[in-house]
C-alpha cells in the first residue's frame, strides 16, 4: 500500500527556552534539539544567540525565521551603538525584536526571549511570543516544552535568587522539559549575563538529572537489552 507524503504540510517544531532574572543579572537557558516533524535535524544546536556584548536572545519556532530576525536586530544594534557611542540597552534590543516580529507577523513563526544587563536597569527579561507582543517579566518560558513548566515555575521561582540558584533552576527546568516533551532534547546550554560580563555553560545529557521513568544513559541499544556485542559472538 503506497503512502503519500505531503511535503507541503507544515512541520511540527519544538524547543524549550527559558529566561530568569536574579539578584544582579539574568540567566538564559535552552535545550539543543532542532526537529523537523519526527526527524531530529540537529541534536546539539545553539538556540541562544548574541545580539550585543550584553544582550542575548533565546530562539524558538522556525529556526530560519528566528535566525533572520536575530541577524537583522544584531545589524541594527551595531549601527545604533556606532551612532550613540555607547552600548544599546536591553529595552532597545527587545523593542527592535518586537518591531520586526510584529511588522512581519503574517510571515514569521518564531517566539523569542530577550535577556541582558545594562547599567540603567540591571538585568531584564523580555518575552516576544508569536505575533510580536512584548512583555517584560521576571522570568519567561517558551517553546513546546514550556507547557510542562508553568506550574513548576509558579512553585520554584522566587525573587532575590543568587546566580547559582537561578542557573540551577534553569538547568532543572530544561531537563524536566526534555523528560516530558518529545520535541525537546539533547544538551542544556546556559548564558549568565551581569555587570561582570557573560558566562556560557554547557551541560551534556549525562550530567542532567533523571526524572520519572527516564533511563540511564547507555552507549548503545545493545547495552539496554543486555545482548552481547555482534563482534564478540
- The residues assigned a catalytic role are 15
How far, in Å, CA of 19 to CA of 167, rounded? 10
Residue 101 near residue 112, CB atoms below 8 Å: yes
How far, in Å, CA of 74 to CA of 89, rounded? 13
C-alpha 130 chain-centroid distance: 15
Burial of 72 (0-12, 13-18, 19+ CB in 10 A): middle
How far, in Å, CA of 32 to CA of 68, rounded? 19
Three-state secondary structure call for residue 154: helix
Classify 194 in phi/psi space as left (phi over 0), alpha (psi -120 to 50) or beta: beta
Three-state secondary structure call for residue 30: strand
How far, in Å, CA of 139 to CA of 155, rounded? 13
Amino acid at each position: 500500500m503506497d503512502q503519500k507524503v505531503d511535503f507541503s504540510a507544515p512541520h511540527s517544531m519544538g524547543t524549550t527556552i527559558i529566561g530568569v532574572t536574579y539578584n544582579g543579572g539574568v540567566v538564559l537557558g535552552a535545550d539543543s534539539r532542532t526537529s523537523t516533524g519526527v526527524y531530529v535535524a540537529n541534536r546539539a544546536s545553539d538556540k541562544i544567540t548574541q545580539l550585543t556584548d550584553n544582550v542575548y536572545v533565546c530562539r524558538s519556532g522556525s529556526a530560519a525565521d528566528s535566525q533572520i530576525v536575530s541577524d537583522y536586530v544584531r545589524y541594527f544594534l551595531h549601527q545604533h551603538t556606532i551612532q550613540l557611542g555607547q552600548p544599546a540597552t536591553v529595552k532597545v534590543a527587545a523593542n527592535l525584536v518586537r518591531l520586526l516580529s510584529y511588522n512581519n507577523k503574517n510571515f514569521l513563526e518564531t517566539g523569542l526571549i530577550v535577556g541582558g544587563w545594562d547599567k540603567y536597569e540591571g538585568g531584564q527579561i523580555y518575552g516576544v511570543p508569536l505575533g510580536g507582543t512584548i512583555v517584560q517579566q521576571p522570568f519567561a518560558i517558551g517553546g513546546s516544552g514550556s507547557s510542562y513548566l508553568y506550574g513548576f515555575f509558579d512553585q520554584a521561582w522566587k525573587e532575590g535568587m543568587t546566580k547559582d540558584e537561578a542557573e540551577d533552576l534553569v538547568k532543572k527546568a530544561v531537563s524536566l522539559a526534555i523528560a516530558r516533551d518529545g520535541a525537546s532534547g539533547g544538551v542544556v546550554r546556559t548564558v549568565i549575563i551581569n555587570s561582570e560580563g557573560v558566562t556560557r555553560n554547557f551541560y551534556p545529557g549525562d550530567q542532567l538529572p533523571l526524572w520519572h521513568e527516564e533511563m540511564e544513559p547507555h552507549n548503545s541499544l545493545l547495552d539496554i537489552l543486555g545482548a552481547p556485542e555482534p563482534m564478540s559472538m
